[in-house]
Amino acid sequence: MLLTILAFVFVLGVLIFVHELGHFLMARRIGVRVITFSLGFGPKIVGFHRGGTEYCISAVPLGGYVKMAGETPEDPRTGQPDEFLSKTKWERFQVLVMGPVMNILLAVFLMWIVLMQGAHVPAFLDRAPVVGAVEKGSPAERSGIRPGDLIVRVAGHTVPTWEDLSIAVGARAKHDIPIEIARGGETITLSITPDARTKYEIGDIGVYPDVHPTITQVTSGDPAEKAGLRAGDIVISFNGQTVTYGSQLTEAIARYPGRTVVFGVRRAGEPLDLPVTPMAHGKKGWVGIGLIDEFKSVHLGPWAAAKMSVQRNYEFGGQIFQTLVGLLTRETSPRQLMGPVAIAQLSGESAALGWIALFSFMAFVSLNLGILNLLPIPILDGGHIFIMALEGLAQRDFSTRVKEGMLLAGFAALMLLMVTVIYNDLTRIEWIQRLMFWR
């Protein structure tokens, strides 16, 4: 719990600081007087004054703000050139846009650091999505997909790699979608409804690549050694069912304490079937093996890492927009939205895995924060930019009453979104879920 709290405060604090720093630095650059730079909202806990600006930390940590002189029509104004509304629309645009831009730049920077360290990534992600196995009882099996099929398109989107397939299907849980496959020189279109997996309702159709886990070690005296399993064996099947990931095999073994099962392995290119009787380890089966999935190592120099960071953030940005469109068209489940509780949980889980995982998670959240703040929703940075753009097209400034109406509508939309994501977060907590009798 303490690690989760500390990681959440660190992640949120850095992202908010960088966002507000963008507004602050651009305001100072164009000559706007900054009254307050605050991390957090509400009552001020601690602060100091320097150069005419109050720097402080406030009680509610879910945000922050930069208060500028003459920022709104209601603020006391003298008409001095150091007031925000005394600046041109172009200058005000620069101040507003720099918060989201700083978050996007932070995402690129953090991902660059991560990629510079090198990474182990699943070897199949950048391969063509040729089906190696189909899960029994899955949407793919029910629709007629077979091993050897090449998945070409999902809902009209070309999916050249397994990673693209995962993204396209993941955003469309519980929605009937067309999937085109290539089989024997023919193109076949199938209708499939992806299952909703995990507490975030990620779409899944139950197809797997043609990869298998490798046994890395066999514990002396345990059932695996007695059955003749060796380090280096590639596990192809378990009781006749294809095995793709080590986690699948571990979960399957756990269900068979004291019962004989059959490992299908490949050793030096030759197939072998070996009967194994897992011992009871508590209430779960145990055979005494170490497993590793098929990974490849990526080691990049500074320039190559920078290029890949930009590319990955560009791709992630496209996924974010695809999710937003999916929410509007109801193709994407609102359950995929995360609020502060889920971010706190994931911050703690990432921190437990190490700083590389934590920085990767921070990059993802920072990119989301930057893009979402650019949406044309009044009250967000993008909303203020949108209003200024409309004023530019109309060649006149809107009245205070009109702007207040727009901001109120934006505030209501934002509150509705916050209620939705917080409700989603709470339903993912097991003991709270049990109290929700209506679910």
Catalytic residues: 20
Name beta bridge partners: 295.
Answer: 122
Task: Tell me how long the chain is.
Answer: 439
Alpha helices in 30-147 (DSSP H): 89-116, 139-143
Residues 6+ apart with CB under 8 A from 224: 215, 218, 276, 287, 288, 289
Angle formed by the axes of helices 302-329 and 89-116, to 10°?
120
Tokens of 212: 């298998």
Secondary structure letter of residue 33 according to DSSP: P
Task: Look up residue 389 and give its two tokens.
Answer: 């753009």
Alpha carbon of 126 to those of 204, 241, 352: distances in Å?
A: 18, 25, 28
Distance CA 376, CA 216 (A): 52
Phi/psi of residue 12, each to 5°? -65, -40
For residues 215 and 233, the answer to whether their CB atoms sit within 8 Å is yes
Residue 100, number of CB atoms within 10 A of its CB: 24
C-alpha atoms less than 13 angstroms from C-alpha of 248 in its C-beta half-sphere: 20
* CB burial of residue 439 (10 Å; 0-12, 13-18, 19+): exposed
